[in-house]
Structure 1
């Protein structure tokens, strides 16, 4: 069993058309045109799965860089490595050598690089140097003459 990637499909290409064309090279188990899940419009690529490996190889040599349904298509063997992660950073805890962002320690949370269950260093939050006292706004204390006298009972 061999799966082929078909790139550069025309927006109007249907699965039946794709299957019909690639059945010229052997028995097709499955032919799929990938569509956008929100709009239902073709994303311009698809997959064809052959039962026989030799039929798939014939299709690659015959259809790669050939015009099909008004567009020049690319036909390659599909990789079965699974889904690829999109965006930068990934989901791993150590992306220093992969071009991603380094994890940021959160106050009170575990620090990356320290094993779970070991003593975690205390992460003190950075004090706000512009912190204002409660009230309408910050004003420095006035002279002692204007201070409120202490209450005597």
Structure 2
């Protein structure tokens, strides 16, 4: 199960992020998304858990709880959608 976590503290480390979810089961990956240019956290990340039931339990118990001084939002990650315009905004004049 792929889980989306937003409103992370900018100082949250990948290790503490992963440990938070390991309390609920096996974490296959935990990644905090960073800005390409600065390397600074963008305040959100993704966690992948091998068992869907454990993932659901983590979502229900961690959503809207305090983690490192911020109230985090935890939901099922939605699949990426294809952007068919290649980044070009047709409405620009």
TM-score by length of structure 2 reads: 0.88
> Gaps spanning 5+ residues in structure 2: where?
none
2:85 to 86, 91, 95: 91
RMSD: 2.2
Give matches, 1:2-151, under 5 Å. 2-80=1-79, 82-83=80-81, 85=83, 91=85, 101=91
| CA distance, structure 2, for counterparts of residue 84 and residue 38 of structure 1 | 24
Distance 1:3 1:17 in 2: 18
What secondary structure, in the 3-state scheme, does the structure 2 residue paired with 1:12 have? coil
Shift of 1:101: 2.8
- Could you say what secondary structure the match of 2:38 adopts? coil
Structure-2 separation of matches of 1:27 and 1:19: 10
> Secondary structure in 2 aligned to 1:11?
coil
Q: Using the alignment, how far apart are the partners of 2:35 and 2:91 within structure 1? A: 29
Report which of the two has the higher share of helix.
2
Q: Aligned pair count? A: 91
TM-score (norm 1): 0.55
Q: Deviations over 1:75-103 (max 9, x none)?
A: 000011x2564xxxx628xxxxxxx539x
Unaligned runs of 5+ in 1: 93-99, 103-153
